[in-house]
Structure 1
Amino acid sequence: MKNIIEKINNLKNNLNKWGHAYYVLDSPIVDDAEYDKTLKELIELENQYPELITDDSPSQKVGGIVMDKFEKYKHKLPMLSLANAFNKEDLLNFNDQIKKEIENSDYNFFVEPKIDGLSISLIYNNGKFFKGVTRGDGIYGEDVTSNVKTIKSIPLSIEDQNDYVEIRGEVFLSKTEFEKINKQRQTNDEEIFANPRNAAAGTLRQLDSSIAASRKLDAFLYYFMDREKFHTHSESLSYLEKMNFKINDLGKICKSIEEVYEHILYIQSQRENLEYEIDGVVIKINDFDLYEKVGYTAKSPKWAIAFKFPAEVKTTKLKNIFPTVGRTGRITYNALLQPVQIAGTTVQAATLHNADFIIQRDIRIGGEVKIKKAGDIIPEVIAPIIDENYYKLNKWIEDTNCPICNSLLERVEGEVDQYCINSQCPRKIVRGLEHFVSRDAMNIEGLSIKIIEKLFENKFIENVGDIYKLNKYKNELIQLDKMGEKSVTNLLESIEKSKSNSLEKLFFGLGIRHVGKKTAKVLAVNFKEIDVISNINFNELEEINDIGPIVAKSVCDWFEIKQNADLIKTLKNEGLNTKYLGNEGSKNNDKITMKSFVITGTLSKPRNYFKEMLEEYGAKVIDTVSKKTDFLLAGQEAGSKLEKAQKLGIQILSESEFLEMIGE
């Protein structure tokens, strides 16, 4: 046995050394065949002696774990977002604000590319990889440990033997891997990913870790959370590199804001040559000791900022204009383009928004147009290129009929959009079903748009109520192309699980016009049951904070339609929960529960910390001060919200008064 242990350890050591050279240093020591042969030998030995398998073995990066769901994980410290700069003036203002806080201190900056991927937190216990967590909402993320383990550039064991080590970074897909995945998805008749960031996010959230392993995610690490260990950010990066983490080689210490700007321009000039996507540059004060002095706003640190690159603009030919129908019947016009490379991806289609947008810009089929990616995500046509031949092209004329059901399109007074108002329009139904099962609504996994279309075409579902009757057709579903017994079983389990969702998810999923996720939560918190909401009148609805006349009318109109009332009955008969199951009952305090709070100014902890605390007591946290506001929680530099609250006679609480109120 001693020889076996020694052999396994030698194999692991070689694989770790070769993997680090290949995936982190980009300097292979052996060829792929040698690496694969050694890995296979290790796996065979571990299969023979399963008691010798360790969590940090290279065999654990192969994947194969299938999860039912991802658990929520509360970050030890919030993962804050960064404020944005878009030009040199913004950078100078950023520097001026720092000077105000640390008047007589010398400081340097550290400048590094802003990777266009998915933020991740890695946690190690006693040198062993313990957990990988997504950013989520900054307070809670998702535990995606099994998928993070498959990322070859992330070590499963490190030299730092402390009982808690947290490192943050960005998971991404290389441009090459992104193109490869999309080609494969096209071959399989699957919807292609819009960009590498979406692909990375989708991959990291795969319940089957073998899929994540096959897609070859990568990661740059950029933040060591234990600031007590080092004086500067650059020192901490050197430490991470020593522990075999992948650190971006374009990072640089800059002694002045002018030098910062020069390095930003250099990184921007290298953007097209990089094998990964970046959408800007991150600038931090290098000295950790200054972070607390400079401080934080409610949403972001004041000692760091993200410089966002301007959207890349390209010129190409507009081959055609075609309309599509959304779940509300809204018509969106789209451009079919001569393929063009922009921001690292091949673009063949772009949005043209609505008919007025096209007419006002006089965009014509057959002409050259400028396109950009809005936020480096959605391609959009900005303007035509006018030359001597342009006006020989035919003027574009808006469609008058729905491209799917041929119903006459209508315009709502005062709005620019056209709508198909046929409630039986197949595309509206399919898009409505897609919205109902989406993550922010009923979160039914396994019902992709392709599967929904297939079920709709085969008359298994015609409305959302039919989703909950699919269990009667299990055998028939298994026979459908590309479904299979396992995927059908998982789908039916996910449908069953969704029945216990809280009311706000159902209410959002119903797709009532003007009712977004936040509004659905407001209605659920205030009225608790869908039957109460369905019988509420316009005036009572409009009185609720954050509910205006447009939303109130839309909700009342929706419930007046018999078809919708029948749908609610069907859902209740199928066992769906129609009550609010929120967290306001988790703690009770008569002074706070069901009261509305506005938070403003600089507090001892990020604003989300206090927001979450208030919501545990069933309080409503709103953004603007009005006569409906019960309390203003005010920190330092509270500004205009404090002035308005004083004028309206709203009770103002300091942080200490608030904590005393809740007994903490």
Structure 2
Amino acid sequence: MLITTAFSLSAAQFDKQSAQCPAWTPARAHNEMSQLQQQLQKWDDAYYREGVSPVTDNDYDSLLQRLSQWQRCFESSAADYQSQLPSGGSTFHPVAHTGVKKLRDKLAVGYWMQNRDDLWVQPKVDGVAVSLVYRHGKLVSLISRGDGLRGEEWLAKAAMIPAIPLSIESELEDVILQGELFLKMSDHHQAIAGGKNARAQVAGAMMSKKASPLLTEIAIFIWGWPDGPSDMADRLQQLTQWGFDLAAQWSKSVKDEDDVAGWRNRWFHAQLPFVTDGVVIHQASRPKGKSWLPGQGDWAVAWKYQPPEVSSEVLSVDFSIGRTGKIAVVLNLQPVQLDDKTVRRVNVGSLTRWREYDVIAGDQVIISLAGQGIPKLERVIWRVTERDYPQQPDAANFTPLSCYHFTPDCQKQLVARLNWLSQKSVLDIAGVQRSTWLRLLEKPGITHLFSWLTLTPEQITAAASISPERAEQIWHRFNLTRQQPLRRWIHALGIPLPRKALNALTDSGWDSILQRNVQTWQALPGVGNVLAQRIVMMLQDTELRSLITFLQHQGIPATTSMFRVRVVENRQAETEAQRQ
């Protein structure tokens, strides 16, 4: 059954959509749209003429919608791109295939159901749409959907498909049915197994000039009898008598959107004899078949399943630098809903992995949720023609020993270090988060990893959006860190000691730490020779040594009495400064 997606937008919706328009020149926009349209046409030809699917339905639909958006941005008078259905079909359908429009969510389903009665829901079987024409009870035509008005004649294949009755008992001169050829499944769980490329296999078997063994595994689900009985129950009963019993088994009367949602969820997790990708809600009453036209049917709609992955446009590429100097590439995305999450960013991984993906702003990507609901980049489905790559950081400049002091190039790594040492397991600076450090760095005062120890409440207040009361709280939290034990300050420096080694440290001051050699470090639990050599090397670094000297001058780690003296001295210094 063909799904036709309605892209028409209200004025308010278009205003929202236009805010997402790429900042392209008219010439570039024309080029980008032309390239995408040509690709869609190639995929249309492969699918409708050869029965193969080079891309998934979701990928195709996503790019089709993206092209439509671009057209609205740059060619407001242009008609939406339509799938290029084959026009070479030689056989006209006695009744046109209308297709069904896709509704976005439960709310839209409820709105559509208003003021309608005698409604039924069916699984949206994922297969190949056809018309069956019986004349005086004999099957005389099996027509592929084609463009909805005419398609290919497949009658010769019907005799090879046991599920299609070659004759029915009927006094009617003509019986015209519409349905879905599908690949039979055994206990198929849509939630687990997904689509399994079933539709493409059916299309390939039907379009093949040779008799495919797969034909015996094809069945048919009748979802339309254009000029059949007006009562749905009578319609289903007659179809069952003719041998089309699946329609009665899988058609359920529904009163409201809650009923529809219930069946949709049940069928998504149930064992089914076919692949599905949603549900279709039918209104029993509909006009006579002679008035049907492609894209014009409003008596049936589809509500597809939420895909396990969604597409989004890359807005920009960020390079995140962690406290140890590791660079990770993060894509900022046009926000999309995936399960119960709104996804705005996805971590690609290393610079090398980003180069392998070759993804930049403007590209279209597919996102899924990995373990614990973490967004994951699955693949790039479209790359813009004009490749404007962002400037990337030099990985050689960032190491576990870089960026202890503030410079513009070092801001990201220094903020990562500061944010990390705020954690409860390090220095436990409650209430001070990454956003706080960023605000503090906007003003002079923080020049290195620990210079916040010398800030006054007034200096903290000078930072944007920090009230005097809040500044006093932060200042107090900063001073409380002075009482933290030596092992925590070693941890804050980024010395890579295992937790059990830190707990086993008996050193009371920095001098004894600096005097340790490879052998004494290796004596600690969990520290091998390689790690011991690395620690000794780090402690010889000039920048790191300067930080240790600073902490020593600050009397850190401080005893309780030393801490009280330091707080009093700080207060006195503030008072004196204010008097002056």
Smaller-chain TM-score bracket: 0.3 to 0.5
The structure that has the greater radius of gyration is: 2
Ranked by relative contact order (alpha carbons within 8 Å, sequence separation 6 or more), the top structure is 2
**TM-score, with structure 2 as normaliser:** 0.39
